[in-house]
Amino acid sequence: MIVMINGSFGVGKTTVAKLLRDALTGSAIYDPEWAGMVMMRLPQWVNLKGSGTGDFQDIDLWRKSAVAGVRLFRLFASGPVIVPMTFSRRAYFDEIVIGLRCLDPELRVFCLKASLPTVKKRLVARGTRSEGPGAEWIARRIVECAEAHRDTHFGEPVETEDRTAREVAQDITTRLQRD
Q: How confident is the model at residue 159 (pLDDT cuts 50, 70, 90)?
A: very high
The pLDDT value recorded for residue 60 is 80
DSSP 127: T
The Cα–Cα gap between 120 and 81 comes to: 28
Q: CB–CB of 15/165 below 8 Å?
A: yes
User: The whole model's pTM is what?
Assistant: 0.89
pLDDT in tens, 134-156: 777 778 888 888 899 999 999 99
pLDDT in tens, 111-128: 999 998 888 888 888 877
Q: What domains appear along the chain, each with residue ranges and CATH number?
A: 2-178 (3.40.50.300)
Residues contacting 140, CB < 8 A, separation 6+:
none
pLDDT in tens, 6-43: 999 889 999 999 999 999 999 999 998 877 777 666 65
The Cα–Cα gap between 23 and 45 comes to: 44
Answer yes or no: is pLDDT of 56 > 80: no
The pLDDT value recorded for residue 50 is 57
Report the amino acid identity of residue 83: V
Of 44-48, 71-75, 97-101, 162-166, give the lowest mean pLDDT range: 44-48
Average pLDDT of the segment spanning 46-69: 75
